[in-house]
Amino acid sequence: MANRGIWSLFGSNPTTVLSTGLNSLAPAGTVVSATYANQTNLDLYCDVEVNLASLSPTAGAYVSIYILAAIDGSNFPAQSAADLRLTTTQLFCTVPIGTTASTAQRVAVRNLLLPPQPVQFVFDNQTGATLNAAGNTVKIDAYSFNLNG
């Protein structure tokens, strides 16, 4: 009987890639995460969870998450926030944010492909509101296939 491939979640908990850097982030502000070592982890996919504390976003609110990969293992692209928005080459996902006033938001995006290099995540606040002073996070839950299932 042939082996079958199944999902394999190697970590026990999601990894927080952004937290305090999101606190009081102004509209159109960006923040870059620390490096996530996917050259070691070699995960194929991840789910992203954006958790924003109470805020009052404007119509059409969203956040974008860009991914910067160090293709040579140590040097990340050095694009400005404006340049990132002009092209989609680094866009990882766009997360719509509900516009109900003064509510917290928790939104997940599933099955995003991770490159096999060190990566950094860039959060771009397009909610039209300054983020709360505490309680904001971006987490990833990385996984691959287990071919010995």
pLDDT of residue 2: 62
Q: What digits encode the pLDDT tens for the residues 72-98?
A: 999 999 888 999 999 888 999 999 999
Domain boundaries, the chain: 17-146
Per-residue model confidence (pLDDT) at position 79: 85
For domain 17-146, give the CATH number.
Answer: 2.60.120
Q: What is the rounded average pLDDT of the residues 2-28?
A: 85
The pLDDT assigned to 10 comes to 63
Q: What is the DSSP string of 81-146?
A: HHHHHH--TTEEEEEE----TTEEEEEEEEEEEPPSSEEEEEEEEESSSPPPSS--EEEEEEEEEE
Compute the mean pLDDT over every residue in the chain, rounded to the nearest whole number: 91
